[in-house]
């Protein structure tokens, strides 16, 4: 394996495009080093990009935040302004792994690794986050929801990688929340998860709602029907029931060592309901 620290994003893209063997990008390393250890992959080229400009920065932009692809979870959690604007996104990121993993794991890595159970992905999706992708032919912006395409797969072309993720501005009276189900209290992969992002009017009526669920399909799902159900409501029982059934209907999980189809479906609905109440309360709504 060769280890390379390219001098620019462009050089990195060219290097990656021209690599004939297996190439991996080193961000936090918390997935790729596990794969190395398990002999699941033996890369010929490891490209370290953490030193490139902006990779480690969180900067305000257009009323939102641009988060560099090598910013670790702990750094996001320590950024009070970011956390105040997107508490659900940050709590999702902060749930990835242990304190040790938080010092390394990144939102971009969690996205690119393509796991349907990635803890940061549902709330990024409900936030409408956009990934900035560098490729050999330049830069493009891609909605986060379009990056993962299946377990372990993403839509990035050869030579492409994410340099930052943009979390857009959020209106007043709006907030988000993320919850996951794990068997223990820490250190597990989500068996199911849900993120909800809500905006309210001055009376506490939902004007905009997005719901995404994780670990219940090959990719994180944005469940449009579930969000639509909540619009115009104050999260009364009927709308919550509608949310739960829309989520359950959207689930298409598998049974494996971590959970059954039934369990994942049922708990995804429960988590969406609970996350909706948290987001509502954070947005200033009175339940």
Partner 1 sequence: MAFDAQAKRNFKVVGTRVTRPDGIDKVTGKAAYGADIAAPGMLYGRILRSPHAHARIVSIDTSAAEALAGVKAVVTGADLAQPDDEDFADVAINCLARDKVLYDGHAVAAVAAKSKSIAKQAIRLIKVDYEILPHVTDVDAAMQPDAPVVQEGRALETVPAGMSQNVTTHCQFGHGDLDAGFAKADKIIERSFKTAATHQGYIEPQACMASLGSDGRGEVWCCTQGQYMVRANCAAVLGVEESQLRITSSEIGGGFGGKTSTFIEPVALALSRKSGKPVKIVMTRDEVLKATGPTISSSMDIKIGMTKDGRITAARGELRYSGGAYPNGTVNMGAQAAFAAYDLEAVETVGWNAMTNRPKEIPYRAPGAPTAIYAVESVVDELCQELGLDPLDVRLMNAARKGTVSSYGPTFNDIGLVATLEAAKAHPHYTAPLGENQGRGLSCGFWFNFGGNTCVSLNINDDGTVGVVEGNPDIGGSRASISMMAAEELGVPYDKVRTVIADTSSLGFNDITDGSRVTFAVGLATIEAARAAIKEMCSRVAKIWDIDEDAVIWEDGCAKPAGPNAGTHPPMTLAEIAAIAGKTGGPIAGHHEVNADGAGVSFGVHLCDTEVDPETGATKILRYTVFQDAGKAVHPDYVEGQMQGGAVQGIGWALNEEYIYGEDGRLQNAGFLDYRVPVASDLPDIETVILEIPNPGHPYGVRGVGETPIVPPLAAISNAVSRAAGGRMTELPMSPPRLLKAMTG
Partner 2 sequence: MKTIPVETTINGDSTEFLCHADESLLDVLRDRLGMTGSKEGCGTGDCGACSVMLNGRVVCSCLVLGVETQGAEIETIEGMANGEELHPLQRVFLEEAALQCGVCTPGILVAAKALLEKNPDPTDTEVRYWLAGNLCRCTGYDKIIKAVQTAAAEMRSA
Given the rule CB under 8 A, which residues bind partner 2?
1-3, 26, 29-30, 33-34, 36-38, 46, 48, 50, 72, 74, 97-101, 103-104, 185-187
Q: How far is the CB of 95 from partner 2 (least distance, A)?
A: 11
Q: What is the DSSP string of 83-111?
A: HHH-HHHHHHHHTSS-HHHHTT-BHHHHH
Backbone angles phi, psi at 139, to 5 degrees: -115, 140
Instruction: Record the tokens describing residue 255, joined without a space.
Output: 């049974």
Which burial class, exposed, middle or buried, applies to 262 when counting CB atoms under 10 A from its CB (0-12, 13-18, 19+)? exposed
d(CA 83, CA 106): 15
Residue 48 contact among partner 1, partner 2, none, beta carbon within 5 to 8 Å by kind: partner 2
Q: How far is the CB of 130 from partner 1 (least distance, A)?
A: 31
H or E segment to which residue 225 belongs: helix 224-230
Residues with Cβ < 8 Å from 109, sequence gap 6 or more? Answer: 27, 28, 30, 31, 69
Q: How far is the CB of 26 from partner 2 (least distance, A)?
A: 7
CA-wise closest residue to 88 among 210, 259, 202: 210
d(CA 111, CA 120): 7
**Residue number, 88 or 269, with CB nearest to partner 1:** 269
Q: Assess contact for 79 and 67: CB atoms under 8 A.
A: no
**Residue number, 185 or 286, with CB nearest to partner 1:** 185
Residue 100 contact among partner 1, partner 2, none, beta carbon within 5 to 8 Å by kind: partner 2
Radius of gyration (Cα) for the chain, nearest Å? 19
Residue 29 contact among partner 1, partner 2, none, beta carbon within 5 to 8 Å by kind: partner 2
Q: Name the residue with tokens 């990934």.
A: 131
Residue 258 contact among partner 2, partner 1, none, beta carbon within 5 to 8 Å by kind: partner 1
**Residue number, 55 or 198, with CB nearest to partner 2:** 55
Residues found near partner 1 in the complex (CB under 8 A): 37-39, 181, 183-189, 191, 257-260, 262-263, 266-267, 270
**Residue number, 7 or 262, with CB nearest to partner 1:** 262
């Amino acid at each position: 394996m060769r280890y390379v620290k390219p001098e620019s994003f462009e050089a990195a893209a060219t290097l990656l495009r021209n690599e004939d063997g297996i190439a991996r990008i080193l961000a936090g390393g918390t997935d790729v080093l596990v794969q190395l250890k398990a002999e699941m992959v033996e890369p010929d080229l490891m490209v370290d990009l953490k030193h490139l400009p902006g990779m480690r920065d969180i900067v305000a932009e257009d009323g939102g935040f641009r988060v560099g692809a090598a910013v670790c979870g702990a750094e996001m959690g320590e950024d009070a302004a970011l956390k105040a604007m997107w508490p659900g996104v940050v709590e999702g990121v902060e749930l990835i792994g242990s304190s040790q993993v938080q010092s390394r794991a990144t939102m971009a890595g969690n996205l690119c690794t393509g796991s349907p159970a990635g803890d940061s992905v549902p709330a990024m999706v409900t936030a409408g986050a956009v990934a900035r992708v560098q490729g050999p032919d330049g830069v493009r912006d891609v909605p986060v929801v379009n990056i993962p395409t299946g377990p372990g797969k993403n839509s990035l072309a050869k030579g492409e990688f994410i340099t930052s993720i943009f979390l857009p501005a959020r209106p007043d009276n709006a907030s988000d929340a993320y919850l996951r189900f794990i068997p223990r209290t820490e250190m597990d992969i989500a068996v199911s998860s849900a993120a909800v992002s809500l905006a309210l009017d001055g009376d506490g009526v939902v004007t905009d709602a997005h719901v995404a669920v994780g670990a219940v399909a090959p990719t994180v799902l944005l469940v449009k029907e579930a969000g639509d159900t909540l619009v115009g409501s104050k999260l009364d029982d009927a709308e919550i029931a509608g949310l739960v059934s829309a989520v359950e209907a959207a689930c298409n999980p598998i049974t494996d060592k971590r959970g059954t189809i039934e369990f994942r479906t049922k708990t995804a609905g429960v988590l969406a309901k609970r996350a909706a109440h948290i987001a509502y309360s954070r947005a200033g709504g009175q339940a």
